[in-house]
Amino acid sequence: MNAEQLISTAQAMVAEGRGILAIDESHGTIKKRFDLINLESNEDNRRDYRQMLLTTEGLGEHISGAILFDETLRQKTRDGVSLVEVMNKAGVLPGIKVDKGAHELAGHPGEKVTEGLDGLRERLAEYAKLGAKFAKWRAVITIGDGMPTSACVEANSHALARYAALCQEAGIVPMVEPEVLMDGNHTIEECYEVTEATLRSLFTALYEQNVLLEGTILKASMVVSGADCAEQAPIEEVAEATVSCLRNAVPASIPGIVFLSGGQSDILATQHLNAMNQLGPHPWPLSFSYGRALQHAALMTWGEAPVENDKKAQAVLAHRAKCNGYAAMGRYSDEVESAK
């Protein structure tokens, strides 16, 4: 493990005003996204779409890295240039999703554990050769009747920590993502409690597995009201609760925290990030690693005329990236949003 290299990659991922583009949808998820634009999910269409995103002019200005799915890391543009090369030229670090998805946790109906540790050492060695600089593993925690159980939280933390240690051994920065799902009618207070317990469990596991925190990025969910909760906490409350929860559970040695959007609208995800940064300074940079909240509008534009609309969709992506880049500095405003 080269600690210096891990630390400098991790710091580059959360450089000022920059964040991560999450385009690591597995085949099942990208099919759901393409269904929205009535497009078949086949290898060429997935390449065309992701090529469009990654060849956006000036992408590196507000995007420090992009998380890819295995297929994309190996793909080439229609002109035969590897997408990894395209990213390197744009100053966008290549990342790779290495988990094998969340599966039913035996003995715990309704709860999931993320799989993918078997053979991970060998897969990481190959990904490093293919140019991956960071990796991502997502665990999902559900809030519900009697959930989460400590068995579920601990099983997921243990897997995240084992994955993180293997990444660092391979010279790859681990992005650890314990996502507390927004699904359900729970209150923001319940979300706070579960998120804090999940983070405490995760950092205990990372410590036990000898993971270098300075070379690790946390991908966190925000502390929000459940999607079906009658009372939705306003932006300021979400910002204060999320920051307070993180300050209580995340060591200051973590080089940065990036958020997932989890089903929030594009603009709300940007507003939440901005509000949190306006409460700073914080012990760590707070930035973004959005999937849907960065891609949705661009996907809709592209879907009207795939490939033909590349430039139009790229302008939409560049705009969302800029808005979130500003939010990562606490400088987002209505003027930034409407300046297209």
Distance CA 214, CA 256 (A): 9
Q: Six-digit token pair at 334?
A: 């209505």
* Angle, helices 188-208/235-249, rounded to nearest 10 degrees: 30
Residue with Cβ nearer ligand 5MM (208 or 299): 299
Residue with Cβ nearer ligand 5MM (29 or 309): 29
- CA distances to 119, 171, 296, 336 from 267, rounded to whole Å, are 39, 35, 11, 12
CB of 98 to ligand 5MM, least distance (A): 11
Residue with Cβ nearer ligand 5MM (8 or 45): 45
Give the DSSP H or E segment for 183: none
Distance CA 276, CA 194 (A): 20
Distance CA 177, CA 203 (A): 12
Distance CA 277, CA 16 (A): 12
CB of 94 to ligand 5MM, least distance (A): 15
Distance CA 39, CA 55 (A): 21
Distance CA 35, CA 23 (A): 16
Residue with Cβ nearer ligand 5MM (26 or 45): 26
Choosing from 97, 112, 219, 322, which is the catalytic residue?
219
Distance CA 257, CA 235 (A): 19
- Residues binding ligand 5MM (CB under 6 A): 22, 24-26, 29, 67, 101, 138, 179, 260-262, 290-293
Distance CA 129, CA 249 (A): 35
Q: Is 311 one of the catalytic residues? A: no
Residue with Cβ nearer ligand 5MM (80 or 119): 119
CB of 291 to ligand 5MM, least distance (A): 3
CB of 25 to ligand 5MM, least distance (A): 4
Query: What is the CB neighbour count within 10 angstroms for residue 123?
Result: 18
CB of 173 to ligand 5MM, least distance (A): 15
Q: Which residue is nearest to ligand 5MM (CB)?
A: 291
Q: Is 177 one of the catalytic residues? A: yes
Choosing from 25, 111, 133, 177, which is the catalytic residue?
177
Residues identified as active-site: 177, 219
